[in-house]
């Protein structure tokens, strides 16, 4: 058990160090996210009511698109330099390896998006309860995107199909987006958000349970 924890931490640290050294994907994803949020208020000019109404949803949509943009990097470099083949042949479970890489992706790309989202919400003077629900939905929803996306990445990364990857992920992410925006809208009118948050929590538990297994199976198929 302790050996597996040590391997998990080693793989996680490795991916974090690689991301810090090569900041291109991180900067592209973050810049894309920030630009969309900054441009969105210009659409409605000085109509602050419309801005406050639609900004939380736009933040979520921007986070979804930015995540899709960054997902290809989860396994791309390991496929290119042959690392994934060595990891597949190692005696360690592929589910453990997949879990470490998925967590590294969430820390590198999604965690900064959540922080920036909160910062932008404060700048735009969104209500406190809306900001809180936005934070909770992003905290629950973005890991699901990373978990689901990792499966599709393994199946498409060698094909150089960024557009194909997005087309596969976007339909699967619609329930997350719909329930997150429903929760935010309910918070804006002071209605209960428990049902939507519980749904996202259930999806997260299901994704954490099944996605690493599915990713490992996809890796075995790609390496066979």
Cα–Cα distance, 80 to 18 (Å, whole number): 14
In whole angstroms, what is the distance from residue 160 CA to residue 139 CA? 29
Which backbone phi and psi does 29 adopt, to 5 degrees?
-65, -45
Q: 């900067």: which residue's tokens? A: 27
Higher-pLDDT residue of 98 and 47 is: 98
CB atoms near residue 30 (< 10 Å):
18
pLDDT of residue 1: 67
- Kindly tell me the burial class for residue 23, based on how many C-beta atoms sit within 10 Å of its own C-beta (0-12, 13-18, 19 or more): exposed
Tens digit of pLDDT for each residue in 113-150? 899 888 888 887 788 888 899 999 999 999 999 899 88
**Encoded tokens for 82:** 């042959």
User: What pLDDT sits at residue 19?
Assistant: 76
Asked if residues 7 and 96 have their Cβ atoms less than 8 Å apart, the reply is: yes
Average pLDDT value for residue range 188-193: 88
Instruction: Please tell me the distance from the alpha carbon of residue 133 to that of residue 78, in angstroms, as a whole number.
Output: 36
Least confident of 50-59, 91-100, 123-132, 146-155: 50-59
Segments making up each domain of the chain, as ranges: 2-223
Phi, psi of 126 (to 5 degrees): -70, 150
CA-based end-to-end distance of the chain: 28
Neighbours of 52 (CB within 10 A): 18
pLDDT for the residue 8:
83
Q: pLDDT-based confidence at 179, cuts 50/70/90?
A: very high
Q: Which two tokens stand for residue 130?
A: 């809306």
Q: Which two tokens stand for residue 111?
A: 């965690």
pLDDT band (50, 70, 90) for residue 48: low
pLDDT tens readout for residues 3-36: 778 888 888 888 888 877 777 777 887 888 888 8
């Amino acid at each position: 058990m302790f050996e597996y924890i040590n391997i998990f931490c080693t793989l996680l640290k490795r991916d974090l160090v690689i991301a810090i050294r090569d900041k291109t994907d991180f900067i592209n994803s973050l810049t894309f996210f920030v630009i969309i949020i900054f441009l969105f208020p210009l659409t409605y000019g000085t109509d602050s009511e419309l801005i406050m109404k639609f900004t939380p949803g736009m933040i979520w949509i921007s986070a979804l698109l930015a995540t899709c943009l960054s997902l290809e990097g989860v396994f791309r470099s390991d496929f290119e330099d042959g690392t994934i083949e060595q990891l597949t042949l190692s005696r360690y479970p592929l589910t453990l390896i997949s879990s470490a890489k998925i967590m590294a992706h969430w820390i590198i790309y999604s965690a900064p998006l959540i922080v920036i989202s909160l910062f932008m919400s404060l700048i735009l003077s969104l209500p406190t309860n809306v900001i809180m629900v936005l934070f909770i939905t992003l905290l629950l929803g973005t890991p699901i995107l990373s978990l689901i996306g990792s499966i599709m990445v393994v199946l498409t990364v060698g094909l150089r199909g960024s557009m194909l990857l997005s087309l596969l992920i976007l339909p699967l992410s619609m329930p997350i987006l719909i329930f997150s925006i429903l929760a935010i809208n309910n918070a804006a009118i002071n209605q209960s958000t428990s049902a939507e948050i519980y749904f996202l929590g259930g999806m997260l538990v299901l994704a954490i349970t099944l996605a690493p297994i599915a990713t490992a199976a996809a890796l075995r198929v790609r390496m066979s």
